[in-house]
Structure 1
């Protein structure tokens, strides 16, 4: 049972966020994504709300209702956690690239729900700023998922050692988006090796990051998987299969 824990679906030229970095001019449909899962022998997929759709999770939630092998990670207004309570939603994403550190007091209700129902909170932020966010989040005792191997670059690589201070937290990593890490696969392997020296391999899951927004001309589903196998080597099988089951209610 292979599980892809990170993909996006959307319609062309639609944005619901107040500030966006990028809005794709093409469709990435649920049907296309399901075809990828079938072709590459994945049993389950996890849809992650993209930043440019803001709090409008409707397209994602509709896909979850129609397909039992999909799970979802939503983005919410902290004053309205209703989407977090929808069936087969298993986490809350904070898209923090280019944004200030959140005030987690604003997310009190959401964090209480996440803890009570064993969901997780997903963080997308560059490593040098991510560590401060984890410090603030630690007191809430919730599961944490970190996107794209914590988004270090070659200048911030040494900061990965700081994760030694968080071994007592339930922190997990998506082995994904290598092209977002200085577009250097060897560097991505160094990052993975460093983190997997600190955390047990059960804390890592695979994500295709399909359809690879902003990098569509450089990557596809096949290459994303091939690169993952090169980065993780003999650890690939357990990452692809068992690790994601509890985190994503599979």
Structure 2
């Protein structure tokens, strides 16, 4: 088993939200993503709801129905969703709630506070909460989420930002929160953080989280940065960072199998 822990898929028929920060240039259906996986020896993938689809997770859920043995998913939901809908998602292979504090136009207080009951449900159900945030905002994120007992999954190295958080307040907050044993980090989207070198951050995360709470992901098809690089490049860079084959197996196989219930 080799798992890509973060990728996206959509079609032209999807309902694009008016709250989107941008419009993707072309459709990237699930068939394309799985074909890329097959070409690179990837057996499983975790679909992440893209910001431009808002709360409409219907295409992802359709993908789960079609490929239940290969896929899991992380959804973005509104505050009024009921537990019956969440239970139905769980049966299809949804394993997480996602909070997007970068691409979304919602402010921090709205995004975090309006879904308190959902965090309690997620903790009880064994779902994790995946957070896409950057810079110093992480100090507030972990402070609010950890008391609910949920596992927090940090997207794209926590998106350190040298311009807005030169003292790495957010990064330090994640490292501190990792002491709880309920913080995981995705080594993904290496091209997104606004720092000269992401490797020192990766090294500190490995030290703080240990080898059992790190997962690798491609971030295919690099939403907002389409055609940035070939898929193989994400694997090559990861292998440059993680030279130990045993560690790579943990990050690409053992750890995601546990986190995403594969």
Q: State the TM-score, normalizing by the size of structure 2.
A: 0.88
Deviation at 1:231, TM superposition (A): 2.4
Q: SS of the counterpart of 1:179?
A: coil
Is residue 77 of structure 1 aligned with residue 85 of structure 2?
A: no
CA distance in 1, matches of 2:220, 2:240: 18
The 1:2/1:214 distance shift into structure 2, 3 A limit, reads same
- What does residue 125 of structure 2 align with? 117
CA-to-partner distance for each residue in 1:75-99, whole Å, 9 max, x for gaps?
A: 0002114553312000010111154
CA distance in 2, matches of 1:13, 1:190: 41
Deviation at 1:16, TM superposition (A): 3.0
The 1:220/1:131 distance shift into structure 2, 3 A limit, reads farther
Deviation at 1:204, TM superposition (A): 0.7
CA distance in 1, matches of 2:174, 2:74: 24
The 1:89/1:190 distance shift into structure 2, 3 A limit, reads same
- What does residue 216 of structure 1 align with? 226
Deviation at 1:102, TM superposition (A): 3.5
- What does residue 35 of structure 2 align with? 35
Deviation at 1:220, TM superposition (A): 2.4
- What does residue 203 of structure 2 align with? 193
Q: SS of the counterpart of 1:180?
A: coil
CA-to-partner distance for each residue in 1:40-92, whole Å, 9 max, x for gaps?
A: 11121000000000000011100000002111111000211455331200001
| Equivalent in 202, 215, 219 of residue 205 of structure 1 | 215
The 1:191/1:223 distance shift into structure 2, 3 A limit, reads same
Deviation at 1:230, TM superposition (A): 1.7
The 1:164/1:149 distance shift into structure 2, 3 A limit, reads closer
CA-to-partner distance for each residue in 1:195-225, whole Å, 9 max, x for gaps?
A: 1122212111111101001222322211111
Q: Unpaired segments of 5 or more residues in structure 2?
A: none
Deviation at 1:17, TM superposition (A): 2.5
CA-to-partner distance for each residue in 1:101-153, whole Å, 9 max, x for gaps?
A: 13545213322221121010110011311221111111101011110010002
Alpha-carbon contact 1:74-1:83 (below 8 Å) kept = no
Deviates further, 12-21 or 122-131: 12-21
Q: State the TM-score, normalizing by the size of structure 1.
A: 0.92
| Equivalent in 215, 236, 261 of residue 249 of structure 1 | 261
Deviation at 1:165, TM superposition (A): 2.5
Q: Unpaired segments of 5 or more residues in structure 1?
A: none
Q: CA RMSD in A?
A: 1.9
